[in-house]
Structure 1
Amino acid sequence: MYQYNEFDQQFVRQRAAQFRDQLERWQRGELTDEQLLPLRLQNGWYIQRYAPMARIAVPYGEINSKQLRMLARIAREYDRPDPELLAHAQATQDALQAAQPGQKLAAPRLKYGYGHFTTRTNVQFNWIPLAKAAEVMELLASVNMHGIQTSGNAIRNITCEADAGIADDTIVDVRPFAEIARQWSTLHPEFAFLPRKFKIAFNGAREDRAATGWYDIGVQAVRTDDGEVGFKVRVGGGMGRTPVIGTVVREFLPWHQLLNYFEAVIRVYNGYGRRDNKWKARIKILVKAEGQRFIDAVEAEYKAIVEQDGAPHTITQAELDRVQAGFAVPELKPANLPSKVDTNGLLYQRWLKQNVRNHRLPGLKAVTLSFKRVGFAPGDADADTLDALAQLAEQFSAGEARLTHEQNLLLPWVHESDLPALYETARSLGLATPNIGLLTDMIACPGGDFCSLANARSLPIAAAITERYQDLDELFDLGPIDLHMSGCINSCGHHHSGHIGILGVDKDGMEWYQITLGGTDGSDLSGPAQPGKVVGPSFRADEVPDAIEAILEVYRELRQPGELFIDTLRRVGHDPFKAAANGARHARTEHLAAA
């Protein structure tokens, strides 16, 4: 795992000190709310529906046990709302719940004292008072963490697939390149105020597990027949109001030219991207509108950077070696803890199948802990759980863990002999449900319970579906299904890429939900990335679980032996599923009318 050098450490400490000064000036009335706004956003501090939200960067998902313990401390000591604020927020939520026609779903009570894992490997806290923000930043800086690149119209937190460098289908360990890109982009003054936010994802394995087609820049490692390493580069992917799959602009880019090419792409975007309409300001709109002319402009800019400017951001072998040294395999020792687990038992065998991946190193495994639990929102970890994760990482994974795109946590260095003991401990924490890749391993944003942009709440829907599908026999029978849910069109829950997607929409001040089918993220299981299609008119909250159940019943009826949900959908088309979902709605309406 890469360790910050003295420059990195000094930088984050200075940023924390600068923000303390800015915050104190604001508290004295020397800075207005409007003047503080860009300063706090550059450090990851938002004002959400009821309270501030802090977004903490975890570049390319890697986190160590010391950092997990600090997140636990912040959750325990700082993520605590004023009682009057919490009571007001809960009363507002209860009133909203009561106003929904026919709403029968139980709304989760608002919680505090926890961190939330996001789809882009950030950690969010929803209740830290802004007056405490400087203290929190200083604590984060003490463990080499911060909120830089988690907000604003800049290059955001850079991501890659969770099992980078450890998967058995690894082509190139892309973590060093993601780290080099992080260092380059963090302080780049030209790209601090882009037309809109900008996201970069790396994938270094044969299977795309980083959803690179959905990013502003998606980078796929490739290796030629003679062993030369480079990258296929996609540009212009994105979700939101206009879902677009990125366009391949380079089939092979030599690795040492990566930053020069990034610079060319972002210069063109910075020069020609729209600034008059934020809904049309993302690079995907520019690429879609200009097509080949955009690619030609990037190539011309890249040529000028290399030939006229002297390729100033060329990655040297010495620099790559320096950064790669930070990603060397750690010292690995088995925990050798006793275990009473029946290793032939059905639950354990299912856990091995769903939650344990093969490793490129003999004798090791990569283990995913499931953060899809009854009573918790997807990706939520309270303070005690965060402390327990730190302990698990130290005992079983050389002190390292990784946040995943699916809002889970992966332990990358687990000895095969330690799997029973790890399973026993994880099960006691509620983190060993064998559902990775199955229906209840859903992605969901915080939605209207916290986010001021959301049109509807995600968490009651997620809770209802999770509770309905607790039968593991049923989950395994249904097989791999990606269910993604967003509370608004901003798509933080990546609903466009779900085999089943759920989107919260507003209709005359009421919460409604669209269901989409057939979206994919680009993995081998799902096939090339594509957005899902809406199956019909929107549904009330209480109708959504019934509609999902009806869709899955059609799959059971129409599937061929061994056929996955996404394959059945492609073979038979959307119409049978659309009819079933709408039929479930009509049946519920008639039932409520009769009652």
Structure 2
Amino acid sequence: MYKYDHIDQTLVNQRVAQFRDQVARRLDGSLAEEEFRPLRLQNGLYHQRHAYMLRVAIPYGLFNSKQLRTMAHIAEKYDRGYGHFTTRQNIQYNWVTLEDTPDILAELAKVEMHAIQTSGNCIRNITSDAFAGVAGDEYVDPRPICELLRQWSTLHPEFAHLPRKFKFAINGAKEDRTILLCHDVGIELKKSKDIHNGELSNGLTADIYAGGGMGRTPILGSLIKQNLPWQLLPSYLTALLRVYNRFGRRDNLYKARIKILVKALGPEEFARQVEGEWAHIKNGDDNFTQAEWDRVAKHFTKPAYKSLTTLSNEEIVNQASDTEKAAFARWLERNVKGHQVPGYASVILSLKPHGSVAPGDATTAQMLAIADLADQYSFGELRATHEQNLVLADVEQGKLYALWQEAKKQKVALPNIGLLTDIIACPGGDFCSLANAKSLPIAKAIQERFDDLDYLFDLGDISLNISGCINSCGHHHVGNIGVLGVDKDGEEWYQITLGGEQGNDAAIGKVIGPSFYADEIPDVMTNIINTYVAQRQDGESFIKTYNRLGITPFKEAAYQNKRAKEEKAQTAGDAS
């Protein structure tokens, strides 16, 4: 993984010192809150419902065991003994004090971490595939480009005060594991073909998608540029951001994202304007060079893999005792993924224990133990996923059983990856001052209702995403089933969407109708799932059944309990 050089370390250290001075002036009253707010936001510090929240960047989701131990230390010393892994490949601390934040940032700087641009109207933490560099379907390892763009965008003076926040996602594989089309800009990397002989050349190019996003107006991004040579990414993205910076709405917070501009202009006209701006700068000095690629790419070489033989699933299962084989096989099916290198696998550690903690939360003890597992089984490296789980990317197949036993002790081995209870959820109204409703109790209630693993395995892949407000930090728009907290006359209600999907077939879910009370949600989920079970054909997934049938049968099922109550009340009223 990337290692800081002298420039990186100096920049981060100076940023810590600068923020320490800003905090001191805020505390002594010489810096007013309205002046301090943009400064703290660009250092990842929010003022939430009960306390300050610090969001720490995990660039493109990649970190090491030493960094995780520091995260654990911060959780224990400065927070309440846990951290929250987010859908943006960050970690959040929800109970920090303003006085402590400079010390926290200083501790992060010692292990090459920071919170720069994890908030504010600037280019946020760049995200990518959690299986980058190891996925079997990968065209190109996206991490060198991720790092080059991270360095290009960090403290970029021209883009420090954009109309609104700006998010990049970068993919380099056949399967999109980045929610590419739901970002302000999605970058699809590929190897270009040599037109002379049709063979793959060393030419790395990018397709650029712009104007995606969730929130109040969910929109899938549009393709605006194809086959852009990787070297030209900085100048082209500069042109794109200049068009947005110039014409993006600044008079209306809810219409300030680039998706609104692209929709208003149309993708073709937006692309034309970007090309016009790019024509003036495309041959300038800001583009990447091969020397820059070499400087960064040397940090993403393969670890010291052993020469191993690929094991069959049966050989792996036979590592377990007879009494454990069924449970171990279940974990292998859901939590273990294929690898580019023979004899290795990638393992997903679930941060979604049924009903006990919030999705994405990890305690100090768990983080310390997982750091040890990374050292023992995966070359000391980890990944954070968009689904709020963690990945050990390079595990020998012959050690999967031993790892599974250790993971069970830390309660991170639940075999529910991709199943209904692998819920994505934001912190919601329990913490966030922007939230209209709580997310975490809803997730807990659903996990408790669907606690039978046999039943979950029979249901198969179903994504369930929960957001506490329209900002959609829980990505509810792209869940097969989405839950959105809404405020109605000061009360918490929950709106249901169906048909969302991430990946290559990305889709925005449709609202089924009026919202529900919190205590109605488990029954609503049961009715929706029962409809799927009754209607599916030949082992169809939930989303395939939904796409075949449409929304009507699921909508009717969702409201059947509400209709029964209304009919009962009507009957009682008529009788009186």
Match of 2:327 in 1: 347
Match of 1:192 in 2: 160
Is residue 201 of structure 1 aligned with residue 169 of structure 2?
yes
TM-score normalized by the length of structure 1 = 0.90
Match of 1:90 in 2: none
Shift in Å, 1:332: 4.3
* Partner Cα distance (1:534, 1:189) in 2: 40
Is residue 301 of structure 1 aligned with residue 277 of structure 2?
yes
Is residue 178 of structure 1 aligned with residue 141 of structure 2?
no
Q: Which amino acid aligns with 1:56?
A: V
Specify which of 559, 568, 577 is matched with residue 545 of structure 2.
Answer: 568
* Partner Cα distance (2:562, 2:391) in 1: 38
The correspondence of residues 194-593 of structure 1 with structure 2, limited to 5 A, is 194-226=162-194, 227=200, 228-291=203-266, 292-306=268-282, 310-332=283-305, 341-342=320-321, 345-374=325-354, 375-523=356-504, 527=505, 529-587=506-564
Larger mean CA deviation between 569-578 and 27-36 belongs to: 27-36
CA change 1:353–1:589 in 2 (3 A) is farther
Q: Which amino acid aligns with 1:507?
A: K
Q: Which amino acid aligns with 1:389?
A: I
Q: Determine helix, strand or coil for the equivalent of 2:193.
A: coil
Q: Which amino acid aligns with 1:200?
A: F
Q: Which amino acid aligns with 2:348?
A: T
Q: Which amino acid aligns with 2:558?
A: A
* Partner Cα distance (1:327, 1:572) in 2: 46
Match of 1:64 in 2: 64
Percent identity over the alignment is 55
Q: Which amino acid aligns with 2:507?
A: Q
Q: Is the 8 A contact 1:332 1:398 kept in 2?
A: no
Shift in Å, 1:478: 0.6
Q: Is the 8 A contact 2:532 2:545 kept in 1?
A: yes
* Partner Cα distance (1:43, 1:342) in 2: 50
RMSD value, Cα: 1.7
* Partner Cα distance (2:565, 2:332) in 1: 39
* Partner Cα distance (1:453, 1:522) in 2: 28
Q: Is the 8 A contact 2:207 2:228 kept in 1?
A: yes
CA change 1:132–1:534 in 2 (3 A) is same
Match of 2:311 in 1: none
CA change 1:443–1:255 in 2 (3 A) is same
Q: Which amino acid aligns with 1:51?
A: A
CA change 1:354–1:588 in 2 (3 A) is farther
CA change 1:20–1:590 in 2 (3 A) is farther
Shift in Å, 1:51: 0.4
Q: Which amino acid aligns with 1:284?
A: K
Q: Is the 8 A contact 1:546 1:585 kept in 2?
A: no
Match of 1:45 in 2: 45
Q: Determine helix, strand or coil for the equivalent of 2:99.
A: helix
* Partner Cα distance (2:420, 2:352) in 1: 10
Q: Is the 8 A contact 1:536 1:582 kept in 2?
A: no
Specify which of 68, 77, 88 is matched with residue 120 of structure 1.
Answer: 88
Q: Is the 8 A contact 1:153 1:194 kept in 2?
A: yes
Q: Determine helix, strand or coil for the equivalent of 1:412.
A: strand
CA deviation vs aligned residue, 1:12-69 (integer Å, no higher than 9, x gap): 1111111111111222221122222111111101100010000000000001101100
Shift in Å, 1:261: 1.1
Q: Is the 8 A contact 1:503 1:514 kept in 2?
A: yes
CA deviation vs aligned residue, 1:524-563 (integer Å, no higher than 9, x gap): xxx2x12100111100000011101100000011100121
The correspondence of residues 28-43 of structure 1 with structure 2, limited to 5 A, is 28-43=28-43
Shift in Å, 1:123: 0.3
Q: Is the 8 A contact 2:494 2:518 kept in 1?
A: yes
TM-score normalized by the length of structure 2 = 0.93
CA change 1:324–1:588 in 2 (3 A) is farther
Shift in Å, 1:364: 1.1
* Partner Cα distance (1:260, 1:346) in 2: 54
Shift in Å, 1:282: 0.3
Shift in Å, 1:253: 1.1
Match of 2:9 in 1: 9
Shift in Å, 1:333: 6.6
